[in-house]
Amino acid sequence: MPLLGDDLHPHAARILREAIDPSALENKAIRLTTDTSLAEGHFAIEAIEGGAEIRGGPFSGVIYGAQELVARAGRALDLSALEKGAISDGPGLAYRTFWTWDHSTNWELSQIGQQEIGVFNPYQKPPQGFLADYKRLVDFCSQNRIGGIVIYGFLRNSHGGIEAAHELCRYGRERGVRIIPGIAIGAYGGVYWEGNHRYNLSTWLKENPQHKAQFSRDIGFQIADLDFPLNFPHSDYTISACPSAPEVMDWMEEAVVWLAETFDIGGINIESGDYGVCDCPRCVARRANDAEAARRAQEFGDSWSHSDMAANFPRLFRAAKKAKPDLWVYCEMQWDNLLEPVAEEAQAALPAGAIYQHTANRSYWKRLREAIPDDYVDGLATQPNVLRCQFACQWNGDARTERYALNAKSFADMCSRGHEMGMKGLTVWGEVSAYNAATEISYLAFSRFGWNPELTWDEFMSRDVAPLFGGLSQAERFVAIAEEIDGNADLPTERLDALQTEALSAVSAAGSEARRRWLTLAERITQRRYMGR
């Protein structure tokens, strides 16, 4: 008997056909149905005459339900679990999102041009590299119930422009993963990050130079939790437009409508731009609030404007939602200010229904998780709210990158503690391939704790990590070694020798996939040993 509804749910059908014995599918009916009464990502599996029905909430629920049926029924399609009643589940955090830049997202590892850090980088990979990287990332997100991917540099001529963007959106939507272009108000290249296009900021400002932002200090920003200075070379990438000019916002609104209507995107991530603010008389007058001025005067002062965002975001939000009502529209509330709101009066008028994203560096998160009052988040004028982790990546820490560190406990903590606070989601950096085992475990923690914020670390280790290594003791030892090398910028060569020997011994004893995981750790240790610390 054929799958019912496979034309509307091709990826869910693909999951079932690949995992279940064909003879079992011939003898039992599986019906795939979208159920708009269920929230996004939620699903229910129940018995029907001759088989089972998978009902799922919009966008991804049927796919997640198909994964669950495979996990419970196995290759023989044993439906006995349904005799006790329907099986239903859904995410504890509604918004689970990876944040990426196109140039430093490295999931297809066999191609040239990989980059590790930066925000104004040219794209150095072959043109097909964009889809090669992001399709692998979409696959991982779909398999692990991660709802969306923010992409800064979504539209760039050098990696396929409009055609590649269309293909990625098609691929993501089919697999239940929202593709969410990142843009900034009058900054970050506009809607079309790089290329001779009417919605590229550099192109537009060359035709309308009177609307270029007036900077009173050099472009860029610095992060207190990062122990080296960042470099921001001047180029077409780093120009900005004045957000007080009506003509700029007319152009931005038109571009956002074009983006939403042209591409099958799943959302838009909107920020104010964080490498400088316009200091023309109109902008200065509009930003006349003490809190914003005080933050900008600090040593690592803000290089963005909360007032700019509050004044202009509602217009772009309304335009995007009118063009495509189901979009996730993120409003970036910028860094380290959840307990000290900035431009409060203006922010109080922000529209309900946007996703208000509060970014935290590591030191601020340590403070926030302990100091935030009960019901504080529920009492905010902006609803709903999510956290964004601006650490456990290349943007926090010492001179070593945290991109390849074991960040699993940080992600688990932000999911669990954030849920207790009243947060509805978490965004983390997702640029590094899960080939690296410490990264793989970190992403799995984000996935599993985002789905169930009440999960315990011991449950996670036993259920999700132990099978990756052939047993719990091996998994716990991997984590312990990774935490030791991550936690110490300097280790005696004797200790590195001992850890290298242990990791290589584990490689020899492991099966193929576990061997790959131990090899990635052994390589990190060996590199440290070669550098002498």
Type of residue numbered 441: I
Among the residues of 119-245, which ranges form H helices? 129-143, 161-174, 201-207
The candidate with the shortest Cα–Cα distance to 97, out of 392, 321, 439, 330, is: 330
CA distance 166 to 528: 42
Per-position DSSP letters for 210-273, written without gaps between them: GGB---SS-S----TTBSS------SGGG--B-TT-HHHHHHHHHHHHHHHHHS--SEEEEE--
pTM of the model: 0.97
The 3-state DSSP class for residue 115 equals: coil
DSSP 423: -
d(CA 373, CA 458): 28
Pairing of strands 87-89, 43-48: antiparallel
207 burial level (CB within 10 Å; 0-12, 13-18, 19+): exposed
For 392, which DSSP code?
S
pLDDT tens figures, 460-516:
999 999 999 999 999 999 999 999 999 999 999 999 999 999 999 999 999 989 999
The residues that bridge with 471 in the sheet, in sequence order, are: none
Residue 326 C-beta-side C-alpha neighbours within 13 Å? 13
Q: How far apart are CA 118 and CA 27, in angstroms?
A: 54
d(CA 125, CA 107): 12
Q: For position 1, what pLDDT does the model report?
A: 57
Q: What is the pLDDT of residue 230?
A: 83
Q: Which residues of the chain have pLDDT under 70?
A: 1
Query: Cβ neighbours of residue 304 under 8 Å, at least 6 residues apart?
Result: 221, 271, 272, 273, 274, 275, 277, 334
What DSSP designation does 336 have? S
Distances in Å between the alpha carbon of 509 and those of 176, 250, 506?
37, 63, 5
What's the token pair of residue 107?
């999931």
DSSP H helical segments within 297-436, as ranges? Answer: 306-323, 344-347, 362-371, 408-421
Q: What is the pLDDT of residue 186?
A: 93
Q: What are the distances in angstroms from CA 279 to CA 180, 208, 232, 287, 484?
A: 30, 18, 19, 10, 47
Please state, in angstroms and rounded to a whole number, the distance separating the CA atoms of residues 405 and 395: 13
User: What does the alpha-carbon distance between residue 362 and residue 369 come to, in Å, rounded to a whole number?
Assistant: 11
Which sign, positive or negative, has the C-alpha torsion 394, 400, 403, 405? negative
What pLDDT, on a 0 to 100 scale, did the predictor assign at position 2? Answer: 75
Where would I find the beta strands (DSSP E) of 337-486?
355-360, 385-389, 425-429
Q: Where are the beta strands (DSSP E) in 66-162?
A: 87-89, 95-101, 148-152
| Span 320-377, pLDDT tens digits | 999 999 999 999 999 999 999 888 888 888 999 999 999 999 999 999 999 999 999 9
> In the chain, what are the domain boundaries?
10-89, 95-455, 465-531
DSSP label at 427? Answer: E
**Which residue type, as a one-letter code, is found at position 198?**
R
Q: How many CB atoms lie within 10 A of CB 220?
A: 18
Specify the CATH class of 95-455 in words. alpha beta
Whole-number pLDDT of residue 288 = 81
**CA–CA distance from 322 to each of 326, 355, 447 (Å)?**
9, 16, 31
What strands lie across the sheet with 87-89, from one edge to the other? Answer: 29-34, 51-56, 43-48, 87-89
Say how many Å lie between the first and final Cα of the chain, rounded.
62
Which neighbouring-strand residues pair with 5?
none
